[in-house]
Structure 1
Amino acid sequence: MTETAVQAAATAARNLGLTVTDPSVLYEAFSTVVHLLPSPVVARVPMNLPGALQEPEPAVRRQQRELDVVVWMAEQGLPVVPPSPLVPLAPAEQDGLSMTFWTYVEVDQAAEPDYVGATARVPELHAQLVKYPGELPWMTPLRLIGPGLAAAEAVPGLLEQEDVDRARAEWKVLEPILTSRAGFEAVFPSATVQPLHGDAPSWNLITTVDGPLWADFEDVTIGPLEWDLAGFGPDLCQAYDEGARSRGLPTLDPQIQQVMDLARALQVLVCTPLVPQFPALADGIRMFAAQWRDMPFAGGC
């Protein structure tokens, strides 16, 4: 997959007029991130997910939504990794893969990860995102849970059959609550619902030599504040609340956070079929599964 993604990114970039002689992989997980040397451009190429884990909407639509949001944020002067100005502001397709192109930023290699500090800044990000004037869909990251659980199979030592049975039963309770804004607000009428980063923003604040920049808005969505803290644990949620209070912004609702934590766990569990392709996923799945087994059924709903 890596070599295919690198070659596709290099070919697409050359077709757009960029010089690419030595493409280098910067990061690989659910996407392959390629520095298109010597051009100051990075391509992000999402992997093609198998079967039930495939997105229900075309990748280009999701990617264009991300580009639109980040362009707007950059225009507001917000600290984001911007799309590359050297190519059109649209996804490119090559060899069956769809990708986006971003400005290369130099990471500060001497900086130590500070997830508490990053989480304390997420309220600031939310305060800006709430102003976004474009349309966004409801909770797009959760759309793969139902199909993923329907196709899930037990993997001894990782996901047992009793786990699969419980997860399906929980989703039966949670699906009408989490898959529509109306269903969610009927249960949680006081929730703060707004545009969100959508994918653990504290882990997507890049410390560059020019300062911290928010990145990876591919799951940008409408949802409750608590989704951006899903799976973070009580210490980081406290850091968020302290940051929010200092800015006079809404804090997290513990009951909603409990449900969002469960939804994140289910989102991780349905990635089990990807372990043969990405063995490193196994440790994360085990960690989330262990935490999930101690959670109240269906988040107490």
Structure 2
Amino acid sequence: MTALPSTRRTRAAVDAAVGAGRDLGLTVTDAVVLHDLFSVVVHLSPAPVVVRVPTVLPHGTDLDVQARRQRAELGVTRWLADRGVPVIAPSPLVPREPVRRDGFSMTFWEFVAEDRGKEPDYAANCEIVPDLHAAMRGYPGRLSFLSAAEPRFVTESFTLLAARPDLIGAADLDRARREWRVLEPLVRSRAAFESAFPGIGVQPIHGDSPPANIFPGVDGDRYADFELVTLGPVEWDLAALGPDLEAAYDRGARRNGMRALNADVMSFVNAVGMLRAIAVLTLTPQLPDLAEYLEPAIDRWRATPFAGGLTG
């Protein structure tokens, strides 16, 4: 499905969401697309239900892999919602399980009206991310270590990019591969990470830049989009945001009696995040505008220390 042109891909995702919703007993008279980039997010009106249908996926991501991640996301958000944490929660009107239809795996969420007049305040958002981290500490479910870094995707992407000099030059790709040889062991192994960064604990974290995934509801802000929920250092959730926003997080951490961000770990997660951005170039056949969007990040990467200053 992800090889379809974008308009057909969106239509196919909407049709699948509507069909799945009706099969689950929801009354659907209109389907309103709320968002369409890596996923199609559609409100099944008049039901108070939103369906998220991932459509642009890393190579090698099959429905079983998707479903495992989606179950983790549904489990974490339901657990947080039950404890009064302001999240967009799974819909109570359908079973809390991923649903497969027409080649897609999708999840169903409560509809929350958006305050469309509110501009994002990323400093304020960063300052409340420690509240989320504090709440997530006690999550009892099993999560993989730094699965949000998608190490297999990064490794395979560098192989694919060797045939795409139009997307990245040979010298840049060589550097990226050499950096990955240093960083990959710390991504794949919790023991290796903890040996490299003694005293830095790991815990359940959002996994996908929560300051950029706080939804402005008319009834207040809510944490959203836990698709990459993972076990890792809290620094991962602040990757690539810069010193000012890191300082905002630290203010919230002090308020929660938590440690400040560690500079060495920030260098590590920033370096991994840069390589992940390069790997995302392989998705440009599905989203042609990605290459132009990622160009400033890759320019910044060229000016950074090799592998975030780690020597391997």
User: Quick check: 2:161–2:168 contact (8 Å CA) kept in 1?
Assistant: no
Uncovered stretches (5+) of structure 1, i.e. residues with no partner: none
- Aligned residue for 1:241, secondary structure, equals helix
Query: Whole-Å Cα distance in 2 between the matches of residues 215 and 199 of structure 1?
Result: 10
User: Quick check: 1:90–1:100 contact (8 Å CA) kept in 2?
Assistant: yes
Query: Whole-Å Cα distance in 1 between the matches of residues 126 and 62 of structure 2?
Result: 28
Query: Whole-Å Cα distance in 1 between the matches of residues 253 and 308 of structure 2?
Result: 24
TM-score normalised by the chain length of structure 2: 0.92
Query: Whole-Å Cα distance in 2 between the matches of residues 69 and 57 of structure 1?
Result: 19
In the alignment, which residue of structure 2 is the partner of 1:3? 11
- Aligned residue for 1:80, secondary structure, equals coil
Query: Whole-Å Cα distance in 1 between the matches of residues 162 and 83 of structure 2?
Result: 46
Percent identity over the alignment is 47
| 1:152 maps to 2:155 | no
Query: Whole-Å Cα distance in 2 between the matches of residues 212 and 66 of structure 1?
Result: 19
| 1:28 maps to 2:45 | no
| 1:223 maps to 2:222 | no
CA 1:152–1:227: 2 relative to 1, 3 Å: same
- Aligned residue for 1:174, secondary structure, equals helix
User: Quick check: 2:48–2:110 contact (8 Å CA) kept in 1?
Assistant: yes
How far residue 281 of structure 1 moved from its aligned partner, in angstroms, is 1.8
* 1:198-277 matches, cutoff 5 A: 198-277=207-286
Uncovered stretches (5+) of structure 2, i.e. residues with no partner: 1-8
- Aligned residue for 1:270, secondary structure, equals helix
CA 1:154–1:116: 2 relative to 1, 3 Å: farther
Amino acid at match of 2:45: L
- CA RMSD after TM alignment: 1.6
How far residue 112 of structure 1 moved from its aligned partner, in angstroms, is 1.2
Specify which of 163, 167, 180 is matched with residue 171 of structure 1: 180
Q: Which moved more, 1:142-151 or 1:12-21?
A: 142-151
CA 1:267–1:55: 2 relative to 1, 3 Å: farther
Query: Whole-Å Cα distance in 1 between the matches of residues 198 and 281 of structure 2?
Result: 34
| 1:129 maps to 2:136 | yes
Q: Which moved more, 1:116-125 or 1:57-66?
A: 57-66
Query: Whole-Å Cα distance in 2 between the matches of residues 29 and 229 of structure 1?
Result: 22
User: Quick check: 1:192–1:224 contact (8 Å CA) kept in 2?
Assistant: yes
Amino acid at match of 2:121: D
- Aligned residue for 2:50, secondary structure, equals strand
User: Quick check: 1:25–1:34 contact (8 Å CA) kept in 2?
Assistant: yes
Query: Whole-Å Cα distance in 2 between the matches of residues 110 and 172 of structure 1?
Result: 45
Alignment length (residue pairs)? 300
User: Quick check: 2:70–2:107 contact (8 Å CA) kept in 1?
Assistant: yes
User: Quick check: 1:141–1:219 contact (8 Å CA) kept in 2?
Assistant: yes
| 1:41 maps to 2:49 | yes
Query: Whole-Å Cα distance in 1 between the matches of residues 256 and 77 of structure 2?
Result: 23
Specify which of 290, 294, 298 is matched with residue 281 of structure 1: 290
User: Quick check: 1:154–1:161 contact (8 Å CA) kept in 2?
Assistant: no
